[in-house]
Structure 1
Amino acid sequence: MSVTPYKTSEEGKKKQIESMFDNIAPKYDFLNHLLSFGIDKIWRRRAIGLLKNIPSPVLLDIATGTGDLAIAAMKLKPSKIVGLDLSAEMLKVGQEKIEKLNLTDTISLVHGDSENLPLSDNQFDAATVAFGVRNFENLNKGLTEICRVLKPGAKFVVLEFSNPSSFPFKHIYQFYSSKILPWWGGLFSKDKAAYEYLPESVAAFPEGQAFVKELEASGFTSLKVWKQTFGVATIYFSEKKVQ
């Protein structure tokens, strides 16, 4: 059974995720940077850096949220970036940021479902997902859809939370994520369940080689698995198989 944010709700995971992000959208950026101590910005830069050798790429940013990764990807000098997200409220915040930075000619935001992309086959040079794949209702379906819209040989970068395994950081992180993070997140966002869901979803996610197997089963070849900050996050770098 998949982990969901609202335990008493009868709605499916996808609908709950949409509602959750709609609820926390106004405080999302503030809490994201506060609760990660700003380290998430470094992780995003490293993820984007893996795509630096693609000239003028057409990029797809799945689960774009408020557009942080899409905006960071401007360093690649892309010809176009499409950011897609399930939450309309998150996209509203993202659109305001993009307009303020005068990036509307390059970055366009689309309200849509990662597991049923409103996009044509073999369209993008690369795709990215930051902290989004663990929210997929059907992981294989979401990854397969991303593979479908990428060109053969196109690169795919996933940045996702993971669980530290070494002492003492493992125990420090477990205490922080299960006790401190839900309290602070709930205080500022008024949705404690959203920040209780975060560590639960990380614990349930098939990280490391288990996720590499999911990638390979969906049409990708793994190129690199890069742990970040004692294993708090992991960057998965792969490419669409050329058949």
Structure 2
Amino acid sequence: MTSTSATSPAAPAPETTLDKSNSRVQEMFRQIAPRYDLMNHLLSLNIDKYWRSQAIKRLRLIPGKPLLDVCTGTGDLALAMARKAGPGIEVVGSDFCDAMLEIARTKRKPDDPTNEVEFIEADSQALPFPSDKFGCVTVAFGLRNVADTDQGLREMTRVCAPGGQVMVLEFSRPTLIGLRQLYGFYFTSILPRVGQMMARNDKSAYEYLPKSVGLFQDGKELADRMTMAGLTNVKFTPLTFGVATIYEGTKPGRASDE
């Protein structure tokens, strides 16, 4: 797949009909946390691991600069970032659901860069970090769950260092005829039933998932929102025929290794 650049941003359309309130989403993820990893791997046929590996390959590290993964969930991307950055580089994973973070903390390994990853509870709409701190700021499969998408993108941009990278890995809707229909059937008919059966909760988490993907802007529309948040050179790369997409942008200014 080839990357596509975004130009001439248009005003984003409002997201409607889905309850993304902090309290609802936080409680939903608290309930499914114990089986979150199992369900992700099972329902994506393990392709989610490949998608994260592609995101890691695209990281543009600034020497000496710390890294941040927001909406980190159970920490897989943050831990992979630590392995790529190596010892001595600060890596932080933040999420507003502590039940997910508790699982992330158990994945750290002694005598390994992952042991240095700090997992903290924080709302991605109001990150508790100074501006211009992180060389890379990432989010994987979490941006669509943020109540105010644009505020989340603005906060990611704010805490990113000048010259640094903001990266979003998110589900998207394939455009290939046939696959789009098959994907839609799987997401709306198969996934909710299997997911709800295996990860019982009273928030209908696996009905929320396809709805959140279906209502969330993707492709050029999301790239335009990143541009409106203050990023430049925004591009997006579809993965697996467009089932997921990686978006990359740069914060204006000159990179520094101070």
- Decide: shared fold, TM above 0.5: yes
Residue aligning to 1:9:
none
- 1:21 aligned residue: 29
The CA deviation string for residues 122-174 of structure 1, in whole angstroms up to 9 with x for no partner, is 11000110001101111111111111111111001100000111111011100
Q: Report the CA distance between 1:18 and its aligned residue.
A: 0.5
Compute the displacement of 1:175 (Å).
Answer: 0.6
Q: Does the residue aligned with 2:170 lie in a helix, a strand or coil?
A: strand
| Alignment match, 1:97 | 107
Distance 1:100 1:197 in 2: 37
Which residue matches 2:8? none
Query: How many Å apart are 1:241 and its aligned residue?
Result: 1.8
| Aligned partners of 1:222 and 1:236 also within 8 Å | no
Question: Which amino acid in the other structure matches residue 226 of structure 1?
Answer: T
Residue 45 of structure 1, aligned match among 50, 53, 56: 53
3-state DSSP class of the match of 1:82? Answer: strand
1:71 shift after superposition: 1.3
- Indicate whether 1:118 and 2:128 are aligned: yes
Number of the residue aligned with 1:106: 116
- Give the unaligned 5+ runs of structure 1: 6-11
- Give the letter for the 1:108 counterpart: E
Measure the CA separation in 2 of the matches of 1:185 and 1:99: 29
Contact in 1 for aligned 2:62/2:164 (Cα 8 Å): no
SS state of the match for residue 98, structure 1?
A: coil
Unmatched 5+ residue regions in structure 2?
Answer: 1-14
Residues 3 and 140 of structure 1, relative CA distance in 2, 3 Å threshold: same
By relative contact order (CA 8 Å, sep 6+), the higher-ranking structure is 2
2:39 to 12, 26, 31: 31
2:169–2:244 CA contact under 8 A, matched in 1:
yes
State how 1:147-162 maps to structure 2 within 5 Å.
Answer: 147-162=157-172
Does residue 166 of structure 1 match 2:176?
A: yes
Equivalent residues in 2 for 1:94-243, closer than 5 Å: 94-99=104-109, 103=113, 105-191=115-201, 193-242=204-253
